[in-house]
Amino acid sequence: MERYVFGVDVGGTTVKLGLFRADGSRIRKWEIPTRTENHGDGVLADIREALLSEMRERKILPEQILGAGVGLPGPVTPDGVVNRCVNLGWGRRDVPAELSALLDGIPVRAGNDANVAALGEARFGAGSRYQSMVMITLGTGVGGGIILDGKIVPGSHGAAGEIGHLPIWDGAKTPCSCGNTGCLEQIGSATGLVRRARELLEETDLPSTLRSLGSFTAKDVMDRHGQGDAVADAVIAEAVDRLGCGMALVSCVVDPEVFVIGGGVSRAGEWLIRDLEQSFRRQAFHACRETGVVAASLGSEAGLWGAAALVLP
Amino acid sequence: MERYVFGVDVGGTTVKLGLFRADGSRIRKWEIPTRTENHGDGVLADIREALLSEMRERKILPEQILGAGVGLPGPVTPDGVVNRCVNLGWGRRDVPAELSALLDGIPVRAGNDANVAALGEARFGAGSRYQSMVMITLGTGVGGGIILDGKIVPGSHGAAGEIGHLPIWDGAKTPCSCGNTGCLEQIGSATGLVRRARELLEETDLPSTLRSLGSFTAKDVMDRHGQGDAVADAVIAEAVDRLGCGMALVSCVVDPEVFVIGGGVSRAGEWLIRDLEQSFRRQAFHACRETGVVAASLGSEAGLWGAAALVLP
């Protein structure tokens, strides 16, 4: 009897779904919209419907499903309970219990989306050759996930791997979305790069072609790196310095074998990985200086692969 | 047949030894000197002799010994290999293999002494009510140990829990013993407190009764806390601020249930634990603000208990 697992990656706009064989090979992936109205009350029911109809179509019996793994956009405790998912409108939800009940008892495991993406890279992507790995996701914010011995470190409050909120930037002039001031993601994220570039354009006379743009994105800043644009170079140097410091700190705590760098910002080019590696080595504790720094390889599918990995044998 | 384990805590001056029953109760503890001459070549032979003579005296057979756990003063990789123990004069040693061979095949496990002390507090001391714990040892240096699900996180280079080398103090004027500048232990350790107090006495006119002392210790600084001594108060405020920042950082990485504070400096009084807790809460990510901060309870015996815990069932 063939065995299967489902991977489910819940985002604020779409839910990505995947059907996998027990050996980890993927059979199909598809998406459904995330219905966030009514405090996201329909999200789990929609997932149920999508998974059950897939099973019906392929004549897969419930006993052939080893489990469904779910990545969620919020802090998830070690037992899979999420306390708040702002993007879904959710308060406290025991997703493994609720979704398993909706799926006639199929086992369900849940994890935070950044942690689950890290697990995906660890098992199927850039981290698959290593025993321990820390993934850093550079996107709208800065996310992270810690994988030791092939397992997610969730943290007692679901906050392990919250690398974006390392309080290590003394240049912040406004509070972070978390309420503190000086978080790494205030300079190291796409949002942070744009905000900091705007500040430098206003406060300094540094030459920059960004001045001629009405509005600009992180990509506009990144594209000007190393092209003689003083503002772009200053902002990126600051971000790279702080991200390298964050990696040095993480090494003193869990000392992973490798850092895997993912997220939209990380697609700027090979130079970013190289610069982060240099910045890390310069600031790292001597025993950790040889720790690897590599680019993620699964892109936006890391979360789906990782969700499956939550329940794969 | 009664079963036993040995705990061995190797320090630069003495080796502490303990015989324990398999239920974790301790039968005897004793000490032998650490023979560091000839690159510490005799250390393992001395441990062998001490353990075998204890077994002879009590008529304990090798098959009754479940194992010997060893704490070592240096970085220890996940498989128990130490690359360098400066205090013992050792280069690379595979302690589990070497000592097990000397003990007729009794299983041996080894860990870094700070990590092993953390394991002792986690299993038998202040951390025993918690699933995950980070111990911070405030002594000559600042040490640390990370315990998740009852197990030491060793780190891929044996450097996990090296909290003393978090690069988070921009007031450092000289390099740390590790070669970097700005490590937490440069302000948060006993050595750091004294060095910083001396700097402030030289560089400022702040009133302090430390000025009348020819030389002074960290205890002299701590004893003047809250007594109107401006230098002592400034140094301690700075140290507490940076230690709280270090704890906030650690929370963003592994998010433990509790911090256990140990080491000689931590015996300054209840106020230190309280001040560290406040400093931590002020700087912590919101999800981690309720993380506990408690004093260690096993004192200098934590390492011996932890060594036994390495091999207890």
pLDDT digits (tens, 9 = 90+) for A24-70: 999 999 999 999 899 999 999 999 999 999 999 999 999 999 999 99
Residue A78: count of CB within 10 angstroms of its CB: 18
Q: Cβ separation of B253 and A255 shorter than 8 Å? A: no
Q: What is the distance in angstroms between the Cα of A186 and the nearest Cα belonging to chain B? A: 14
Minimum Cα–Cα distance from B162: chain A residue = A252
Q: Which residues of B touch A290 (CB under 8 A)?
A: 157
To the nearest whole Å, the CA of A155 is away from the closest chain B CA by 4
How far B284 CA sits from the closest chain A CA (Å)?
8
Q: Who among A148, A159, A287 is closest to B252 (CB)?
A: A159
Contacts of B205 (CB under 8 A, 6+ apart): none
- Average pLDDT over chain A, rounded to whole? 95
**What pLDDT was estimated at residue B277?**
98
Given a cut of 70, the residues of chain B with pLDDT beneath it are none
Taking an 8 Å cut-off on Cβ atoms, the answer to whether B156 and A255 are in contact is yes
Residue B46 to chain A, least CA–CA distance (Å): 29
Residue whose entry in the numeric block shows the structure tokens 């978390």: A178
Distance of CA B47 to the CA centre of its chain: 21
Half-sphere exposure of A82 toward its Cβ, with a 13 Å CA cutoff?
A: 25
Q: Whole-angstrom Cα distance, residue A85 to residue A12?
A: 9
Q: Cβ–Cβ of B253/A131 closer than 8 Å?
A: no
pLDDT of A123 > 90? The answer is yes
Tokens 């995906």 belong to A120
* Rounded distance between C-alpha atoms, residue B113 and residue B70, angstroms: 8
- List chain A residues with CB under 8 Å of B256: 155-156
- The pLDDT of residue A239 is above 90: yes
Asked if the model's pLDDT at residue A176 lies above 90, the reply is: yes
> Do the beta carbons of residue B229 and residue B209 sit within 8 Å?
yes
Pick B160's closest partner by Cβ from A160, A253, A283: A253
What are residue A7's DSSP bridge partners? A18, A69
Q: Provide the pLDDT for residue B267.
A: 82
Partners of A76 on chain B (C-beta within 8 Å) are none
The shortest CB-CB distance from B160 to any of A168, A254, A290 is to A254
pLDDT at A214: 84
User: Least CB-CB distance to B287: which of A158, A290, A291?
Assistant: A158
CA dist B193 and B186 (Å) reads 8
Please report how many Cα atoms fall inside a 13 Å half-sphere around the Cα of residue A174, on the Cβ side: 10
d(CA A139, CA A134): 16
Q: Output the pLDDT for position A160.
A: 96
Interface list for chain B against chain A, based on CB atoms closer than 8 Å? 75, 78, 131-132, 146, 148, 153-163, 165-168, 178-180, 245, 248-257, 283, 285-288, 290-291
Low-confidence winner among A59-73, A114-128, A258-272, B162-176 (lowest mean pLDDT):
A258-272
- How many Å lie between the alpha carbon of A129 and the closest alpha carbon of chain B? 13
| Token representation of residue A274 | 């190289």
Give the span between the Cα atoms of B125 and B122, in whole angstroms: 6
Which DSSP symbol is given to B88? Answer: G
Across the interface, which of A78, A168, A254 has its CB nearest the CB of B153?
Answer: A254
Number of CB pairs, chain A paired with chain B, less than 8 A apart: 127
Whole-angstrom distance, CA of residue B310 vs CA of residue A22: 35
What tokens were used for A236?
């990126």
* Structure token digits, residue A248: 């040095």
Work out the angle at residue B245's Cα, subtended by the Cα atoms of residues A287 and B220, and round it to the nearest 5 degrees: 90
What type of residue is B289? R
B158 closest CB neighbour out of A249, A250, A287: A287
> Quick one: which H or E segment has residue B32?
strand B26-33
Helix (H) and strand (E) counts for chain B? 10, 12
